[in-house]
């Protein structure tokens, strides 16, 4: 069975209100030590191309001996390849918490991303996740970002601008992984609405914690300037159950899975994590155990 974790039990109506006001909420210590160890072990395996299911992930950025050592390593839709990652990102507990915070009646997995920032890796540009979603209607997304290491300022942690999910949505920023000034797109967006020096909040939490953030919030990750701290995380990007494809071009990964003549986001590729009206996808338990669909 997918991981069970105390997420919803830690959320009260005040937290929902804080999520709506601030655009993100931090929940510490939701994964146990066994789950953290299992997820950490998946990272080197995946980047070596050792896939439990024999299926390649949808994106694979960084190869040993080929890619630059100071670039952030990331893989998109690792759940299709690795069962430890599947056990995390297909957990209905994540979907339930997202539904509670957003008010969506049901939640699907859009995609996962695993992020690995060893010491010396560069920053990740500030962006708004929803800028990447205009090929869906509604074009909403919410992310649950899990830490697998203690995070701290200077160690490549994720940073947020509180309340910035209420700013206008901007275009996708260029140069995602090796920017000159990783905060520049956010600073430009702030100045375009007359805000000088927006406050940036670094996430400093123990391994096994998570941040749930709105798709519109500005966030990015600083360089890891530490000499020995790993920074590994898993982002679970979710979409509302009723999301459909539009005719707007784009959808780099998502669009590959659009069936001819259909606008539907098919369950085999966008699994239903939680729904108030339907049962979540019955195949998930079997897949997480055996890798069989």
Ligand X SMILES: O=C(O)CCC(=O)C(=O)O
Give the Cα separation of 161 and 203 in Å (integer). 11
Tell me how far, at minimum, the Cβ of 235 lies from ligand X, in Å.
3
- For the bound state, the minimum distance from the C-beta of residue 145 to ligand X, rounded and expressed in Å, comes to 5
Nearer to ligand X, 30 or 158 (CB): 158
Q: Does 280 bind ligand X (CB under 6 A)?
A: no
Nearer to ligand X by C-beta: 198 or 220?
220
Kindly state the smallest distance separating residue 142's Cβ from ligand X, in Å.
Answer: 10
- Is residue 233 at the binding interface for ligand X, with CB under 6 A as the rule? yes
Handedness of CA 210, 27, 183, 164 (dihedral sign): positive
Q: Which is nearer to ligand X, 5 or 75 (CB)?
A: 75
The reply on whether position 101 binds ligand X by CB under 6 A is: no
CB of 10 to ligand X, least distance (A): 20
Q: How far is CA 235 from CA 110, 112, 254, in A?
A: 11, 6, 16
Q: Which of 198, 235, 240, 271 binds ligand X (CB under 6 A)?
A: 235
How many residues bind ligand X (CB under 6 A)? The answer is 10
Residue nearest to ligand X (CB): 235
Q: 143 vs 209, which CB is nearer to ligand X?
A: 143
**Interacting residues with ligand X between 243 and 262 (CB under 6 A):** none
Q: Of 87 and 151, which CB lies nearer to ligand X in the complex structure?
A: 151
Alpha carbon 1 to its chain's center: 21
To the nearest whole angstrom, how small is the minimum distance from the Cβ of residue 63 to ligand X?
19
Q: Measuring CA to CA, which residue among 32, 60, 58, 51 is closest to residue 148?
A: 32
CA distances from 246 to 7, 58, 135, 252, 265 (A): 32, 21, 5, 14, 11
Considering only residues 143 to 202 of the shown chain, the ones binding ligand X according to CB under 6 A are 143, 145, 158
Q: CB of residue 49 vs ligand X: minimum separation in angstroms?
A: 22
CA pair distance 289, 282, nearest whole angstrom = 13
Which residues in the 110-129 window bind ligand X by CB under 6 A? 115, 124, 129
Residue 158's DSSP bridge partners are: 221
CB of 277 to ligand X, least distance (A): 28
Residues 204-223 that bind ligand X (CB under 6 A): 219, 221
Q: Which is nearer to ligand X, 114 or 190 (CB)?
A: 114
Residues of the shown chain interacting with ligand X in the complex, contacts defined by CB under 6 A? 115, 124, 129, 143, 145, 158, 219, 221, 233, 235
């Amino acid at each position: 069975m997918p991981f069970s974790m105390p997420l919803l039990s830690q959320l009260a109506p005040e937290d929902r209100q804080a999520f709506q006001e601030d655009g993100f909420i931090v929940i510490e210590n939701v994964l146990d030590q066994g789950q953290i160890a299992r997820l950490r072990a998946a990272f080197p395996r995946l980047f070596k191309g050792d896939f439990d299911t024999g299926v390649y992930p949808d994106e694979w950025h960084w190869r040993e001996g080929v890619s630059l050592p100071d670039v952030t390593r990331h893989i998109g839709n690792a759940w299709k390849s690795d069962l430890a990652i599947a056990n995390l990102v297909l957990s209905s507990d994540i979907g339930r918490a997202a539904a509670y915070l957003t008010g969506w009646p049901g939640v699907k997995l859009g995609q996962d991303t695993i992020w690995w920032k060893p010491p010396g890796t560069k920053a990740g540009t500030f962006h708004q996740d929803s800028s990447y979603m205009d090929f869906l209607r509604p074009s909403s997304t919410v992310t649950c970002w899990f830490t697998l290491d203690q995070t701290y300022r200077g160690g490549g942690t994720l940073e947020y601008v509180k309340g910035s999910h209420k700013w206008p949505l901007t275009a996708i920023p260029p140069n995602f992984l090796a920017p000159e000034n990783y905060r520049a797109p956010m600073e430009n967006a702030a100045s375009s609405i007359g805000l000088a020096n927006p406050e940036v909040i670094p996430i400093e939490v123990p391994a096994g914690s998570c941040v749930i953030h709105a798709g519109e919030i500005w966030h990015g990750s600083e360089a890891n300037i530490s000499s020995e701290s790993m920074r590994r995380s898993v982002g679970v990007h979710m979409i509302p159950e009723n999301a459909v494809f539009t005719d707007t071009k784009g959808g780099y990964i998502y669009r590959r899975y659009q069936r001819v003549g259909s606008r539907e986001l098919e369950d085999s590729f966008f699994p239903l994590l939680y729904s108030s009206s339907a049962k979540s996808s019955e195949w998930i338990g079997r897949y997480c155990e055996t890798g069989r669909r």
